[in-house]
Amino acid sequence: MKLEQNRIYIKDIQFGDVTAVNNGILTVNKEEMINFLKEDPKVKDVKLDIARPGEKTRIIPVKDVIEPRVKISGGKGFSGVTQTTTQLGDGIVNILYGAAIVTVGDIVGFQEGVVDMWGEGAKYTPFSKTFNLVVDIEPAEGLEPHMHETTVRMAGLKAAEFVGEAGRDAKIDETLTYDIGNIDEETKKYPNLPKVLYVEMLISQGLLHDGYIYGVNSQLILPTLLHPNEEIDGAVISGNCVAACDKITTYQHQNNSAILDLYAEHGKTINFIGVIITPELTTLQGKFRSCDYTAKLCKTLGANGVIVSEEGYGNPDSDLLMICKRLETAGIKTVLITDECSGWDGASQPLADTTPEAVAVVSGGNVSHVVTMGPADKVIGNDKAIATLSGGWEGCLEADGSLKCELNAVIGATSEIGFHYCTAREY
Amino acid sequence: MNKINDFSIVTNNPIVKEKYSQVIFVDGGFEDVLIKTRDLVHSGHELINHPLGASIRMFFSPYRSIIVSSKSTELVDNEHVSIMESSIISYRKQMENRMPDIVNSQDYAIIDSELLDSSVEEMKRFYN
C-alpha cells in the first residue's frame, strides 16, 4: 500500500466567514459547522471554542481528540463510520497538521480527561501543543448512555471531516510517503532483516471502554491483521473515554507513534510486516482466545520480533503478559510498551500482573505520579468535572485554586503507544 | 461451567441486584466483592470474567460485579486463585491514597451494570 500524507501547517485557528486555510491560518465558520453537527437530531446543541498553546485554558472532560483531514484519493474519511465502507491505506490525504478537534462531553459524572494549554499541565499532554477547536456537544434529552456516547463520538468525527475539508485545496507544506508492499515483496527486498510485527491491544469491554476498526466494535473480532497504512489513514477509532492518561485517542491512532517509528526503521534495521489489532476482552476465556490467536498470527506470519502495546490498566495487564509469554516461548523476541501504576513514590509493582518472560518492557511513565496544575483563566467544558479530579484525597485543591492530581487524569500523559512526553528512567 | 445459566454474579451494585436473578449480593465495597469472589474461587467456583476493570478510573468505582460459575467443583483452579489474589493486592495498592468516588456513585453503578452486560454477552459467545 502507498499513502501520501500532505501536511498543511496550521499556525492558528480563528472563527471567520468561511471554513478555509490561508497562510497557515485555519478559519472556521462557526454557524455552518454548528448547523452541520445539529443535522443529527440527537445533538441538541453544540458550542465551539478555540484553545491555543500557551493560553491559560483548561479543557475538561475531554472525550476524544481527532486530527482534521480530507481524503483526496483512495477511500473516504472514517470508512465504515461516517462514510460508506471503502478500503483505506492507499492514495492521498491532506492533513491540517498542528490542528486538532477536541470533543468535550460529560457522558458520566466521573469522567477525567484534562488538557491544560499552559504551565505544568501542558508539559504532560501532547494536545497542549496543538491548536484545538473544542467541540462541546449537548445531546438531546433522555438519550440512554450508549446512544449518548455514540452521538458524541460521531459528532467529533464529523467535526474533523467538516474542518478537514478546508485542506482540500490548501497549499501543501510537506509530503510524507508511506509505502510498504506485501510481505513477499518486502522480504525479497530485505532478506536479511528481521521480520517485525506490531500488536496493538485495544480496550474492548463495553460502554466507554470500546474501540472500532472500520466501524466494527473490537469486542466482536478475533485479532486481525492490518497494513500499517490503514490505521494511520483512519481505520481505527477510539470509543474509550475513561482512562484519560493511557487511552489511545483517535488522533493517536491516526499518528500512531509505534507504527511511525517502525516505518522509519523499515528497510534499515527491520522488515515491518504489519499490525495486529487485538481486543482486550473481559472474560478469561476471551482473553485466552485472543492471546492464543495473536501468538498464532505472529507465528504464521513468520515474525522474528514483535512489539506489543497495551491500552488501559488492570485486567488488560493479564492479556499483555499472556501474549508476551506465548511469543517468547515460541522464540519470538517481544518488547512490551505499557505504563506503570507504581504509587505516588513510584516504588510499587507497576502492573497488575507479572511474568518472567517480560524481559524487554518500555514504560510510558507512572500514572500515579502527582502533578500540581495552576488555576486556569478559562475553563472549556464542564468545570464541575474538576471537582471529580480534586475529590480523591485531602489537600488536592490548593487555596489559590491550583489543582493537584495524578497523571491518570491528564489526556495522553502516559501513552502506551509512545505518543507523549513521559518516560521512566533508572538513575 | 457447562451451561449458559450456570453463573452467579458477585456484586455490591444495587442496579445489578435488581436486574439479574443469579446474584450473590455483598453488603460492602469493591474490596469486599473481591474478597467474596476470592473465597468462592478458593472453594471451587470458576472465575468467568477478570475481577479488575480496564482503566484506573474504574478502581475508584464504589461498585463492582464479577461473574463466577454457580456450581463449585472439588478442583480448585490455581490460575483463577492467583488472578484473584493479585487483583486484591493491586486494588489495595491503587487505593492506598485514594477513596472510592462516592460523589458519582450513581454513574458508577450504571457503568458497572453496562460493563457487566457486555461481559455476560461475551460469556454467551463461549458458553451456550
* Residues near A66 by beta carbon (within 8 Å), at least 6 away in sequence: A100, A101, A103, A156, A157, A159, A160, A249, A250, A251, A254
Chain B CB contacts of A311 under 8 Å are 54
User: Looking at the domain assignment, is residue B90 inside a domain?
Assistant: yes
> Count of domains in chain B?
1
Dist CA B78 CA A134 (whole Å) = 49
Residue A245 designated active-site: no
Amino acid present at A130: T
Residues in chain B within 8 Å Cβ distance of A284: 47-50, 80, 83
B77 vs chain A: nearest CA distance in angstroms?
12
- Tell me the pLDDT band of B14, cut-offs 50, 70 and 90: very high
Q: Looking at the predicted structure, is the pLDDT value of residue A147 above 80? A: yes
Q: What is the mean pLDDT of residues B91-102?
A: 86
- Provide the pLDDT for residue A321: 96
How confident is residue B125, by pLDDT bands cut at 50, 70 and 90? confident
Q: Which residues of B fall within a CB distance of 8 Å from A392?
A: 60, 97-99, 101
Give B18→chain A minimum CA distance, Å: 18
Domain limits at A193?
Answer: 2-409
Q: What is the pLDDT of residues A157-215, one digit of tens each?
A: 999 999 999 999 999 999 999 999 999 999 999 999 999 999 999 999 999 999 999 99
Q: Within an 8 Å CB–CB cutoff, is residue A202 touching chain B?
A: no
**Residue % of chain A over a pLDDT of 90:** 81
What pLDDT does residue A378 have?
94
Q: A421 in a domain, yes or no?
A: no
Option in A283, A318, A341 nearest B119 (CB)? A283
**pLDDT tens-digit profile of A261-282?**
999 999 999 999 999 999 999 9
Is A418 contained in some domain? no
Residue A213, pLDDT score: 98
The verdict on A145 touching B (C-beta cutoff 8 Å) is yes
Q: What is the mean pLDDT of chain A?
A: 93
- The torsion angle over the Cα atoms of residues A46, A49, A51 and A56, rounded to 10 degrees, is -110
Cell numbers given for A216? 466494527
Cα–Cα distances in Å, from A335 out to A159, A295, A320, A338, A364? Answer: 36, 14, 10, 10, 13
Q: How far is B119 from chain A (nearest CA, A)?
A: 6
Categorize the per-residue pLDDT at A92 as very low, low, confident or very high, splitting at 50, 70 and 90.
very high
Which A residues 312-331 touch B at CB under 8 Å? 312-316, 318
Q: Give CA–CA dist A366/A422, Å, rounded.
A: 8
Count of domains for chain A:
1
CA-to-CA distance for A281 and A301, rounded, in angstroms?
24
**Interatomic CA distance for residues A252 and A272, integer angstroms:** 19
Indicate left, alpha or beta for A418 from its phi (over 0: left) and psi (-120 to 50: alpha).
left
Range of the domain at B12: 7-124
In a domain, A175, yes or no: yes
For residue A177, being part of any structural domain is answered with: yes
- Tally of residues, chain A: 427
Helix (H) or strand (E) holding A229: helix A228-230
**Within a domain: residue A361?**
yes
Confidence of residue B128 (pLDDT cuts 50, 70, 90): low
Q: A145 to chain B: which residues are within 8 Å by CB?
A: 110-111, 114
A423 within domain boundaries? no
Evaluate whether residue A414 is within a structural domain.
no
Q: How confident is the model at residue A382 (pLDDT cuts 50, 70, 90)?
A: confident
**pLDDT the model gives residue A383:** 74
Q: Does residue B1 fall inside a structural domain?
A: no
* B3 pLDDT more than 70: no
* Cβ contact A219–B98 (<8 Å): no
Given this model, what pLDDT does residue A395 score?
Answer: 57
Which pLDDT does position A397 carry in this prediction? 67
Question: pLDDT-derived band of residue B57, with 50, 70 and 90 as boundaries?
Answer: confident
Q: Grid coordinates representing A413? A: 500523559
A207 closest CA partner among A280, A290, A272, A150? A150
